[in-house]
Chain A
Amino acid sequence: AQSVTQLGSHVSVSEGALVLLRCNYSSSVPPYLFWYVQYPNQGLQLLLKYTSAATLVKGINGFEAEFKKSETSFHLTKPSAHMSDAAEYFCAVSYFGYNRLAFGKGNQVVVIP
């Protein structure tokens, strides 16, 4: 079955520093991969998704992620963190058919002024 692993439940980053959130997937078929963000007291919002069109995917709010098949990874990055990036971030992989998703455990990002 498809699954994703996100390490480090809490990630602290200084304002202006690089944001790097790691996601590794396990899939027996070519995966579709997603990053979602959850701001405090809100539902999840799509940041970006990989659908095999391009390995480097650009999303909203300056985030991007690179699909690396050889490393089974889909890490999320942003060159310069803003205070507004404080949120929880989830990586997810899609099951084939019905658009069923398996989520990672999430990374709570804290931005330090």
Chain B
Amino acid sequence: DVKVTQSSRYLVKRTGEKVFLECVQDMDHENMFWYRQDPGLGLRLIYFSYDVKMKEKGDIPEGYSVSREKKERFSLILESASTNQTSMYLCASSSNGLAGGPSDTQYFGPGTRLTVL
């Protein structure tokens, strides 16, 4: 069965802290994605990766960075957390990388609810 896991369901951090959100998929997928979800705004893409060590900016990359050292793991990093980064963060993965079709299904993790105080 397809599985995407995220390291924490709930996380509370202080302003200025460096925050790591981890995502692991067990489906050997090439593509991985990080979204943030806010009420009334839907899901917005922060970064995605189509291969190990490859990354592309999404729609709202400011204040975030990512790391993908292994195929199954994609990390989202908040270099200096701020209160406006309080949100739900969702990770997803899909197959096929650069050769992938736009019709591929994305599989989502359960999300990490981050609160920055």
Contact = CB atoms under 8 A, between A and B. Distances in A.
Interface of A: 6, 9, 32, 34, 36, 41-46, 49, 51, 90, 94-106
B110 A98 contact: no
Given A44-B90, A98-B50, A98-B100, A105 B40 contact: yes
Contacts, number: 69
Nearest to A41: B110
Interface in B70-117: 90, 92, 94, 96, 98, 100-111
Interface of B: 4, 31, 35, 40-45, 48, 50, 56, 58, 90, 92, 94, 96, 98, 100-111
A101 to B, nearest CB: 6
B92 to A, nearest CB: 8
B102 A90 contact: no
A51 B103 CA distance: 6
Contacts of B56: 98
A97 B48 CA distance: 12
A95 B105 contact: no
Contacts of A9: 40
Contacts of B43: 44, 90, 101, 103
A92 to B, nearest CB: 8
Contacts of B108: 36, 43-45
A32 B94 CA distance: 15
Nearest to B93: A99
Given A43-B4, A43-B111, A103 B42 contact: yes
B102 A42 contact: no
